[in-house]
Structure 1
């Protein structure tokens, strides 16, 4: 496990490169780049999955996206959807020239919102030989507008525009809590379930901060990650999802699976909630086992 620094759009991004034990392979190891939940840092969910995938024979890169954790970028704790896709692009470029990596066998694994980003990224970057999406959040503006109602969706955009205008004129960045179990404290991920992970020792990481920019909400409701399924083409896709998930809908996972134009597999796990697939051994172990089988046969 070694530090791995690379650059994207002039920003230094910090990651952890894990390489399997044993003699180096002549052509390098099959390699996986990981991307994870909203607000997450490399020591949390992606770190756990990276550790398990490396034990199974893959080199892995878990890194902090721009604006988060140990990586550079402003505003801090701001979800930048275009930036995150650029981060993934440049992560793969950096991995491809590393001597431990087989540049012809690079895959992507995303968990939670990272599942949507991994899907969208893999669809438009043929260097990715296979993509696995676990408990994925497949954001789709049309679906969000339908769920919220057109008027409420428009009102949310208007509120965001006002926030952006004020930020432009004052230079002040407005923040919300990332998680809160107090209904009187506004949070991007409200409710007891996200708090049960991020608000407890389960997610302990020195660089994680419990806040997100107010404009993160605009990013979440306008980015189209589900469209990746339409453009994935021959790249193999694995969808792993829980049957009970109030934050990243099972319906969204099924829709992405059905929209995929190339080879696709889906594994349903009998979860009790979304964060079961963050760190619950009962759910993470079968998710990893299936992901390993899928990547080994696809890359």
Structure 2
């Protein structure tokens, strides 16, 4: 009887914890609208805290979350990490998860919405130009290096998915970053130009013409045209040929949805995106480099190409998470834990 009662109590506990986890991943249930499991729900003295704030990047107001470690003392010095979010993502999703988990390890971290996206300013909405995203990363460095307690000689960079590609470009020239890491790096320009896994090479010129026409329409005051402006049905998602897109729609629009997150971007952005390549000039990176990806990720080829080209890096490491797909590195606990362990080891040695 005792063993049955114990088992029932354990089951109730598990169900209760599962319910809490589900609630924590619902932005409506979190006072900071964070979407990930285990997210901070309140600031408690002596524990990890989150600090929503805004700052100016040029004329644009940027919305950011700064995470401070337990027992944070602004008179002391801490290493810091800038976290760049994926394409279509916002600071409350995977970027926030990794920022919080790194804060648990003693780092001051910042995750900010890209200009023209999320809760940040900028018009028209959802412009997605590489130069802007790279400047966002420089801007996060500008802000966090003046934050109380940050040791500017121990500043690291983490870019996730599309933010990973832009992190590589930012680190090529911005030597304030003493080390750089990527998670499931996505080369936005390569994919916008050639299609995922080179599936749209035949339509490059056609799409460039559409982007050119869209810009011509914009400058005359016409309607702003968008790419990926509709959400496919469940049936359409199931038929998509790539795990990245199938699981991506599930993550961004179901399990970890946030109202500020969207896949759409202005069609005119393609004029800049299609001539961009995150894997060019990799020889400019001389900081320690860690690139993490799932070994089952269909996007892995992008990480491998960039890693191979980083031939001036003396301390570089490729870490593959066994069994993980691209999107699973965003949320699946066993994969996130492996990535955080590796990142913590990397930053401890390189910062």
By the TM > 0.5 criterion, same fold? yes
SS of residue paired to 1:170: coil
| d(CA) in 2 for partners of 1:274, 1:8 | 31
Please provide the CA RMSD for this pair. Answer: 2.6
| d(CA) in 2 for partners of 1:269, 1:285 | 10
Contact 1:180 1:191 in 2 (8 A): no
| 1:86 has 2:138 as partner | no
User: TM-score, with normalisation over the residues of structure 1?
Assistant: 0.89
Q: 1 or 2 for the larger relative contact order (CA 8 Å, sep ≥6)?
A: 1
- Of 217, 225, 234 in structure 2, the residue corresponding to residue 174 of structure 1 is 225
**CA-CA distance at 1:148 after TM superposition:** 5.1
Contact 2:75 2:148 in 1 (8 A): no
After TM superposition, the structure 1 = structure 2 runs for residues 135-284 of structure 1, keeping only pairs within 5 Å, are 135-139=184-188, 141=190, 144-145=193-194, 147=198, 151-177=202-228, 180-182=231-233, 183=236, 191-200=245-254, 202-209=255-262, 211-233=264-286, 235-246=287-298, 249-260=299-310, 261-262=312-313, 263-284=315-336
Structure 2 spans left out of the alignment, 5+ residues:
1-49
Contact 2:85 2:159 in 1 (8 A): yes
**CA-CA distance at 1:272 after TM superposition:** 4.6
Q: Name whichever of 286-295 and 269-278 sits farther off.
A: 269-278
Q: Are the structure 2 counterparts of residues 72 and 100 from structure 1 closer, same or farther at C-alpha, using a change threshold of 3 Å?
A: same
Q: Which has the larger radius of gyration?
A: 2
Deviation string 1:167-191 (CA, Å, 9 cap, x unpaired) is: 222331112446733349xx9x995
Structure 2 partner of 1:286 = 338
**CA-CA distance at 1:38 after TM superposition:** 0.6
**CA-CA distance at 1:142 after TM superposition:** 10
Q: Are the structure 2 counterparts of residues 285 and 212 from structure 1 closer, same or farther at C-alpha, using a change threshold of 3 Å?
A: same
**CA-CA distance at 1:267 after TM superposition:** 0.4
Contact 1:131 1:237 in 2 (8 A): yes
Give the total of aligned pairs. 292
**CA-CA distance at 1:145 after TM superposition:** 4.4
SS of residue paired to 2:124: coil
**CA-CA distance at 1:219 after TM superposition:** 4.1
Contact 2:193 2:201 in 1 (8 A): no
Q: Are the structure 2 counterparts of residues 148 and 177 from structure 1 closer, same or farther at C-alpha, using a change threshold of 3 Å?
A: closer
| 1:298 has 2:311 as partner | no
Structure 1 partner of 2:85 = 36
Structure 1 partner of 2:23 = none
Contact 2:293 2:300 in 1 (8 A): yes
